[in-house]
Amino acid sequence: MLIASIAANLVGILVFLFIFWKRLRDDYSPEIIFKSALDILGGILVGFLVSLSYLQGAFLWLMFLGALIGLALAIFRLRLKFYETFEALIISSFPWLGLTFLLDSVTHSSLSSFLAFVAILIFIFISYYLDAHYKAFTWYRSGKIGFAGIATLSLVFLTRSALAIFGTSVISFVGLRAEAVVSGAAAFICFILIFNLARIKD
């Protein structure tokens, strides 16, 4: 099982790097993209190691927090644009996350993890659909990049909060009550980011 976990994560990281590069290649050099990806992956690794020592049930949240810290460091060091880079992080993380749930569903015969994997596939489709059509939304006046990723992430958090409220748990939940509150708060923050992004003008 350890070999399968290592292999799945290596594939996930490679897919993450490719999509992250593809999303940012028009605006930044490969060197800058690679350095920012390393910052994010470093934050994810730290979050994972902390979860192993203290809060194993919160591994996804700690890795997400680590990714955000790595993102903030990359933005500060390399002067990246927040919304574009945050969206690249979100969209490139979905396949890796999906592989995590798929592996757990196979190794532990977990129906909830398999359904989570299917949900991730749906969110990937939603993100690419929104990315292709968001400029046609009349209410989204700014037309700025970032809407597709953040809107999809808000749906992820809303789904997690709803599942926790109705008593359905998956491997990445921190407890049903806590998950409902934390995911709900994260979804609200995403909505604020979208609202702010919609108002930005050149």
At 105-123, the pLDDT tens digits run 888 888 888 988 999 999 9
Closest CA to 40 of 11, 65, 14: 65
List, in sequence order, the alpha helices (H) in the chain.
Answer: 2-24, 30-53, 59-78, 82-107, 111-133, 147-165, 176-199
15-65: pLDDT as tens digits: 999 999 999 999 999 999 999 999 999 999 999 899 887 776 678 889 999
| Full-model pTM | 0.91
| 69-94 per-residue burial string, b: 16 or more CB within 10 A, e: under 16 | bbbeebbeebebeebbbbbbbbbbbb
Q: Which residue has the higher pLDDT, 186 or 140?
A: 186
Q: Is-contact 154 129, C-beta < 8 A? A: no
The pLDDT assigned to 176 comes to 67
What's the mean per-residue pLDDT of the chain?
89
Q: Which domain holds residue 106?
A: 2-199
Count: domains in the chain: 1
How far apart CA 146 and CA 139 sit, in angstroms, is 15
Sign of the dihedral defined by the CA atoms of residues 65, 12, 18, 118, in that order? negative
Confidence of residue 154 (pLDDT cuts 50, 70, 90): very high
How far apart CA 186 and CA 202 sit, in angstroms, is 27
The pLDDT assigned to 188 comes to 96
Confidence of residue 70 (pLDDT cuts 50, 70, 90): very high
The pLDDT assigned to 3 comes to 83
